[in-house]
Chain A
Amino acid sequence: MNMKQTLLITLMALLLGLGSKELRVLVLTPTPQMHCENCENKIKKNMRFEKGVKKIDTDLEKQHVTITYDPTKTTVEGLQAGMKKIGYETKVVSDTPAKKDK
C-alpha cells in the first residue's frame, strides 16, 4: 500500500467514524436559576469549551440547559462539573441518545 492509499483509507475511516458517532442529549436544570439572556449567554459561552460538547440550547421558561455531547469524550458528571465551574449546581432531567438527523 502506498502512502496515498493509506491516507485515503484513514480519511474514510475517520469520516465513517464521525458519521456513526452516537451522540447523547443531556438536559439539566441549573441552580441558581437562569434569569436573563446574560445568564444564558454565560452558560453557552463557557460550556462550548468543555470537551465533547457539540451543541447547547437554553430554555428560560422551562429552566433547561440542553447539551448535545459525545459520550466517548465526556461524561454527565464531567459536564456537571463544567457547569459548577461557572457557578451552577445542576440536576439531571434526562440523558438520552440523540435523534439522528435525517
Chain B
Amino acid sequence: MEEVQIQARRAEGVSRMGGAVGGINIGQGELRRAACCNLGESFVTNPSVDVNYNDAAVGARQIKLLGLSGEYVQMLGEGLPSSTGAAMPYSLGYVPGVWMKSISVSKGAASVKNGPQSITGQINVEYLKPDDEPGVRVNLYGDSRLKAEGNVTANLHLNQYLSGELLAHYEHDFGHHDDDGDLWHDSPSVRQLHLQTRWKYLKGDYIMHAGAGFLQEEREGGQMLSVANPFRVLVNARRAEAYMKHAYFLNRDHNTNIAFAANGYLYRLDGTFGPKMYNADQRNLSSRLMLEHDFTPDHSLSTGLSFNADHLDETFASVVSPMLTTEYTPGAYAEYTFTPSYHFTAMGGVRMDYSSLYERAYVTPRVHLKWLPSDYVTLRAAVGKGFRTPHALAEHHYLLASGRTLVAGDVLPQEEAWNSGLSATFYIHLGNKEVQLNTEYYYTDFLHQAVVDYDSDPTRITIADLDGSSFSHTMQVDASCDITEELNLLAAFRYNHVRCTYGGELLEKPLQSRFKGLFTASWKPMMGIWQVDLTLALNGGGRMPRPYILADGSASWDEEFPAYPQVNLQITREFRHFSLYAGGENLTNYRQPNPIVNASNPWAPDFEPTMIWGPVHGAMFYAGIRIN
C-alpha cells in the first residue's frame, strides 16, 4: 500500500519504493516519455539504470546497474523469474514497451523471496492487467531506420470473476543501415513475433493468474551482402513459456495467505557468427510455495519452499565435448519484517538452497533497515549476499563474433558477492515546491565471479573464475522537482568506481563509463494534452581493454574512450481516443568512431566488433500512434 501512496504523491519524476528495500517505480507516465519499443529502451529517462550495446554484430543490449553487467540484476516478470542463460543477451528486447504497466527497480540486495540470484538488484516488470478497464489498444510505430512495429493489446471481463487479455507484438526492420560506411550493418535487422495471453480469476479469497506465450525472433547482421564472401551474423530464437500463480487468503485480518507459483519455458537458439556456430537448447522450470502471515501489524513473516530445474544443452563447433548442464535447486526461505512504527522498518531474510550441479548447499542472508527520522528524511541501509550459477558461454555467446578465440567451456564456480548500500532521501520544501533530493552509495564485492578477460591475452577472450579481487563502488545524487504543475525537472549524477582482477592485475573494468550525468525536463501544458520530454545525458569516458599492436604497426585502439553526450526529444499530443507521438534519439548525432575494429577483414584474428562503448547509430527520428 505504501508504494501506491508514494506514487500518488509524485506522479512525475522519481517515484521511490515505500518498503524497506530501496528502489524506484517506473509507471506508464514515465514509460511514455520516450519511444520505448521494449524494456531495454525504458530506462532512457532513468538515472539509475544504464542500457548499453554489447557489440556491433549481434546487437545484444544489456542493463548495467551499479556499474556491473546485467546478469547480476535479477529479471522478473510479475514476480516470476524470466529469461536466463542463452536468452539473456536478448531478453531486454523480449518485453515490448506497450505491454508494460510498470517497472520496479530495487537496488542492492533485494528480498530473498525470489531466490539468491540478485546481486546488484532486481527489476520486476508488471504487464497490463486482464482486469484493467476492458478495451482494445493498438500501437503503431515507425522510424527513420525503417523499423516498423505494431502492438495490439486487448482485454475483456468474461464474468465478474474471470478476465483475460491478449498481447501481440510484431516488429520488422526493413532497413539495412550503415551510417559509418564500413560495409557492416550498424546493428542487425530484427524480425520478432511475440504473443501472450494472460488470465486472472478472482473469487472470494482465491486468486489465480495463468498464461502462456510464444516468441520467435530472427536477427540478421554482419557484412553487407554486396561484399564478396560476407561475414554474416544470424541468430534465430524461439521461446514458449507458461506460468500460473494461485493464492488463497486464509485470514484477511492477519493478511494470512498461501500461494503457489510455477513457470517454465523452452528456449531454442541457433547462432552463426561468421565461421562459428553456436546452438543452445534450454528448458527451465521454477516453482515455489509461499506462506505469509502478519502476527500483529508490527510483526510479519513470509516463508516458503522453492524448486528450480534448469537444463541447458549447448553445441559449439570448436569445443570437442558437448556441453550439457543440468541443475536442480531445491530451497527454502524465511523473511521477517518488524515495523514498530511508521518511522522504522527492519526486514531480515535468509534462504538456503542446494545446487545439484555443485553438490553443495549455500546460505543467503539479507538485512534491510528503513528509518524516517522526520517526515522529510528517509534513510535506508541494506546488506546482503547473492549467488548465481554462471552459464559463461550461453550468457556471452555474442562474443563469438570476435576474431579472438573465446575460452569459456568449463563449468565455473558459482558466482558469489556481498552487496551493501546506504541511501538518504530528503524532501525539501522551498516555498510551495518540494524538491526530492536523493543520495546513495552502493558497494559490491565479489568472492567468485565469471570474469570476462580481454586484457591478459590479445588473441583470446577468457571467461574464468575470479582470481583476486573484484568490486564496484557507486555514488549517486539526484534531485527532482515539479517547478510548476506542468513542468518537472530532474538532474542526476552518478560516479562508478569498478575494479576487477585480470591476469593477476587489478584494473579498471573496461568499457564502463566512469560517470553519468542526466538531465530531464517533462513539460505537460494544457492539462497534459501536450507533452514535451527532453533528455540530456553525458556518459563519462573509461578504460578500453589493453590495446595491442596490429600488423601495420599501429595500436588496435586507444587506451581510453572519451565522454559522449546524448540528447533525446519527444512530443506527444493526446486526443480523447488516441495519442500521437514523434521524437528523435541521439540528436547530437554522436557515433562511436570505428565501432568495428578491422572491419574490412572479419576472418582475421584481430577482427573485433565487441569493443562497444558508445552509440553505433547516428540520429534517429520516429513517430507513432497509440489508439485506445
Binding site for B on A (CB under 8 A): 37-38, 44, 46, 48-49, 53-56
Contact = CB atoms under 8 A, between A and B. Distances in A.
A46 B527 CA distance: 11
B278 to A, nearest CB: 48
Interface string B417-451: 00000000000000000000000000000000000
B527 A56 contact: yes
The A interface, classified by DSSP as helix, strand, loop or mixed, is: mixed
A48 B8 contact: no
Contacts of A38: 133
B528 interface: yes
Contacts of A53: 527
Contacts of A49: 529, 575-576
B526 interface: yes
Given A37-B8, A44-B527, 13 more contacts: A38-B133, A46-B576, A48-B526, A48-B527, A48-B528, A48-B529, A49-B529, A49-B575, A49-B576, A53-B527, A54-B527, A55-B527, A56-B527
A57 to B, nearest CB: 10
Contacts of A44: 527
B5 to A, nearest CB: 10
A46 B574 CA distance: 11
A56 B529 CA distance: 13
Nearest to A85: B576
B200 to A, nearest CB: 17
Interface string B490-534: 000000000000000000000000000000000000111100000
A79 to B, nearest CB: 14
Contacts of A55: 527
15 contacts: A37-B8, A38-B133, A44-B527, A46-B576, A48-B526, A48-B527, A48-B528, A48-B529, A49-B529, A49-B575, A49-B576, A53-B527, A54-B527, A55-B527, A56-B527
A37 B6 CA distance: 13
B358 to A, nearest CB: 48
Nearest to B528: A48
Contacts of B529: 48-49
Contacts of B8: 37
Interface string B106-122: 00000000000000000
